[in-house]
Structure 1
Amino acid sequence: MELVLPEHIKFGQSLTAPVDINLSDSCAQGVALNTLVELAGEAWFERELSYSPMAGSDMLRAAIKAYHLQPQVVLSQEQIVTFSGAQEAIFTVMAQLLSPQDEVLVFTPSYPSLAKLPTQFDAVVKSIPLQANNQWQFDIERLKREANAKTKLIIINAPHNPTGATLSDKDVEEIKRLAQHFDAYILSDEVSAQRADDARIASGRFADYAKSITLGVLSKSLGLPGVRVGWAICGNKALADLLLAGKSYLSICGSQVDDMLASTALNHSDIILKENAKIMARNEAAMCEFVRQHSHKVSWVAPQGGVLSLLQIHSVKDAKSWSRQFAEATSTLLLPANLFVMNSECHFRLGIGKQSFIEGLTRLESYLQ
């Protein structure tokens, strides 16, 4: 297997100009290290820096369960496996579940690993495109038509990267029934999901399906990509053991430092999410006004959940070239959507989670004039 650096990473690395604002950032604002250490209290200084348990500490997995799952979900902590970010979890799922010629269903556009990594294991990827004229909503009927006896894995990502689309409870139940009918696995990427009691989006709704893997991470809603902790919540213990076996060939275990920081952040997530919600609301209002004033130049569908959405700039004909020129002229990054498995030369991924968003939007406004 020969792995190739993803296009969106290569694009960012190839920019010659320094970038100080990322308008495509997929993360919320987050907090500083000293805040988390203060919240952790004396326990921070008493932690022994030995190897962590492979699946993550009991404290961390309990915090993940409380944060990510709805109260009515009955699930053992033994069904939760932690990883060094969500990317390691995605790789492990693909490596452990997929065999040559297995069929994988995925909605596009998409985070590249979800749509492209299965081919590294000789699986067949069948894409189901989301449509702008349908407000980027998931086409569950098309998903049903594409599924068959060869379907091994159905990949769901909601809130969706990069459109911000979400799933209704009815959608979730139909997907679970479809997977059960064909005895397929479900990989539910929920890295941008808020807490279960957040009105914006419910999380963990696939966890009661035995062949499900639900992904979460600290980097998105909590804005802590520097704490390298992601997780997989498995529908049964045997599936969790399978992922642990795969992890044993990769990071083996996370660091004690990250384990402590992650546990602290999750146990105090209300504080972080409350502040992030204020930033997102302010930025979304600013974006709505921007679109109102420049409707002849841009189109935009606000995210239903998470921080990501797609911005269409009507005059652009070559998204990569335009993005490069924009970055060099303004020190601002706006990633073209064709880096996210989308056939478009005028769409760009937009993230509304950062304090710097309005300054970046001001730069964009000046550049478009």
Structure 2
Amino acid sequence: MRLFKCQHCHQVLYFENGACERCGRHLGYLPDIGTLSALEPDGPSWIALADPRARYRFCANWEQHACNWMVPAAGDEAFCIACRHNRTIPDLSDPDNHRRWQKIEQAKRRLFYSLIKLSLPIPTAASGDPEPLMFDFLSDPAAGAPKVMTGHDNGLITLSLKEADDAAREATRDAMGEPYRTLLGHFRHEVGHYYWDRLVRDGGELDSFRALFGDERADYGTALQSYYDQGAPAGWQQGFVSAYATAHPWEDWAETWAHYLHIVDTLEIAGAFGIGVSPGITDDPALETEIRFDPHRVRDVQTLIDAWLPLTYAVNCLNRSMGQPDLYPFVIGPRVVEKMGYIHDLIHRSRPGQSKRA
């Protein structure tokens, strides 16, 4: 994630800001040029100071205080490039539903920021693509009916609204023994299943995937039940980024994919702040980093890992100093780096203008 600056008063801005705290101007995110812009009203549309030749409108969800992204005023799209993927949203007449949906949309926009920066395909239902990327955000039905399960099915990602309730989500995290559970983490994990379909299944990469992650043809339901009954095998940290990744090759891919997006996004914001790590008590290069590269564009995944590990050592210590749990409570072993490298290479080969594997 980048830092942004108000084009009118030069105040530092953050991705979710809807107004500049210094000059008070409305702000809108322009996904076509990837920047947050101060705005000036121009009749029914807006002039973006970052691109004053064009005219923009806010996404229709701006009126629900749920989106700060914009669309070209000359077009006929009511929703922005992120919101037009919504198939179902909750009943917004319920204030709790509305509040939780706003939090979900905030996390989803961060997901789409990454997908756009990585040039990944994001087809909508209107595109005619046989497997568009769509979202259902659902509240649990009345007592006695089946609960909403967060998951992915042929391009449709379902997210339970209760995941936006911090207390409920934390209770679930604790009950399941998970070190980490967030809305953004859900989005990154579930979209990983979608891109398995696009990049592996449809990309002719099944053999290479199976050689590294295992055979996904193993019965999924049986594998999950075995994981929930028995847990992860001993020594799983040597080859998997999380315990849940051991459940099935599809989950290994999705967990590794999510962590790859965690790393890329966090390294970008660390670089934007000019964060470097160089402990004065040692000259060990494994504990040092300066993030002077765009993590979306690097060719070798090892560049990401070499910056990520020292950064996590530092921020984990900062969190402990505040009595908080580690920011990144995971171990990345050589086998996990290999898996991340596989994902990294697939993403970069899929970008427009990049050559495919022979």
Q: Verify same fold: TM over 0.5.
A: no
| Length-normalised TM-score, structure 1 | 0.25
- Larger Rg computed on CA atoms: 2
Higher relative contact order (CA 8 A, sep 6+): 1
| Length-normalised TM-score, structure 2 | 0.25
